[in-house]
A and B are shown apart, each in its own frame.
Chain A
Amino acid sequence: MANVNIKINGQDLCVDEGLTVLQAAQQAGIGIPTLCYHADLALDGVCRVCSVEVKGQRALCASCVYPVSEGMEVLTHSPKVRNARKVIVELMLANHPQDCLICARNQNCELQAMARELGVQDVRFTGDRKDIPTDSSSTSVVRDPDKCILCGRCVRTCQDIQSVGALHFSGRGWDTEIVAGLGGDLADAVCVSCGQCINRCPTGALKGNDPSAKIWDAIYDPAKHVIVQTAPAVRASIGEEFGMEPGSRVTRKMVTALRMLGFDKVFDTDFTADLTIMEEGSELIQRVTKGGVLPQITSCSPGWINFIEYYYPELLPHLSSCKSPQQMFGTLTKTYYAEKMGIDPKDIVSVSIMPCVAKKFECDRPEMYSSGYKDVDYVLTTREAAAMMKEAGIDLPSLEDGEYDAPFGITTGAGAIFGNTGGVMEAALRTAYELITGEALDDVNITAVRGTDGIREATIQVGALPVKAAVAHGLATAREVLEGIKSGRYKDYAFIEIMCCPGGCIGGGGQPQPTNEEIRKKRIEGIYAEDGAMELRKSHENPAIKAIYEEFLGEPLSHKSHDLLHTTYTPRSQRTVKSEKPTKVQID
Chain B
Amino acid sequence: MAFYRAHILVDSGTAAVLKGANAVRNTLIEEIKSRGLDKEIKVVETGALGLAGAVPAIVVYPEGVTYANVTVEDVPEIVEEHLLKGRRVQRLVYKDDTPAVVKAAGSARSAEMRVVLKNIGVIDPTSIDEYIAMSGYEALAKALTAMTPEDVIAEMKASGLNGRGGAGFPTGLKWEFTAKADGDIKYIVCNADEGEPGNFKDRLIMEGDPHQIIEGMVIAAYATGAQKGFIYIRGEYQQSVANTERAIDVAREMGLLGCDIMGSGLNFDIEVFKGAGAYICGEETALLASIEGFRGESRVKPPYPPTHGLFGKPTVINNVETLANVPHIIVNGAQWYSEIGTARSKGTKIFSPCGDVQYPGVYEVPFGSTLREVIFGMAGGIKSGKKFKAVLMGGPSGVLVGEDALDRRLCSEDLNPGAGALIVLDETKCVVDLIRNCAQFFLHESCGQCTPCREGTKRMVELFDWWAAGSGSEQDLMLADQLATTMALTSRCGLGQFAGVAFKSSISLFEDEYLAHLADKSCPAGVCDMDKVEEEVRA
Contacts and interface: CB of A to CB of B under 8 A. Distances in A.
Interface string A551-585: 00000000000000000000000000000000000
Given A43-B300, A169-B295, A171-B448, A124 B490 contact: no
Given A173-B443, A173-B457, A88 B448 contact: no
Given A59-B497, A173-B457, A174-B443, A150 B448 contact: yes
Nearest to A49: B451
Contacts of A91: 451-452, 455-456, 459
Given A46-B451, A84-B486, A174 B300 contact: no
Interface string A66-84: 0100000000000010011
Given A88-B490, A127-B459, A173 B485 contact: no
B489 A84 contact: yes
A47 B483 CA distance: 15
Contacts of B456: 91
A418 B300 CA distance: 40
Interface residues of A, number: 37
B447 interface: yes
Interface in B445-497: 445-452, 454-459, 462, 479, 482-483, 485-486, 488-492, 497
Given A67-B302, A94-B455, A128-B462, A174 B486 contact: no
Given A91-B455, A127-B458, A174-B443, A60 B450 contact: no
A125 interface: yes
Contacts of A4: none
B448 A47 contact: no
A84 B452 CA distance: 9
Interface of A is mostly: loop
A109 interface: no
Contact of A62 (B278, B448, B492): B492
Contacts of B485: 83-84
B444 interface: yes
A254 B489 CA distance: 50
Interface of B is mostly: helix
A87 B300 contact: no
A172 B278 contact: yes
A171 B446 CA distance: 11
A92 B451 contact: yes
A83 B484 CA distance: 12
B414 to A, nearest CB: 19
In which size bucket is the chain B interface?
Answer: 20 to 34
A99 to B, nearest CB: 19
A60 B486 CA distance: 9
A87 B454 contact: no
A128 B497 CA distance: 23
B446 A128 contact: no
A171 B457 CA distance: 16
Given A150-B448, A169-B295, A83 B457 contact: no
A176 B444 CA distance: 11
Nearest to A169: B295
A180 to B, nearest CB: 17
A45 B483 CA distance: 20
B448 to A, nearest CB: 3
26 contacts: A47-B451, A49-B451, A59-B489, A59-B491, A67-B302, A84-B485, A87-B452, A88-B452, A88-B486, A88-B490, A91-B451, A92-B455, A124-B479, A125-B462, A126-B538, A127-B459, A127-B462, A149-B451, A150-B454, A173-B447, A173-B454, A173-B457, A174-B446, A174-B455, A174-B457, A176-B448
Interface of A: 43-49, 51, 58-60, 62, 65, 67, 80, 83-84, 87-88, 91-92, 94-95, 124-128, 149-150, 169, 171-176
Top 4 A-B residue pairs of the complex, sorted by shortest distance between their CB atoms? A176-B448, A91-B455, A127-B462, A87-B486
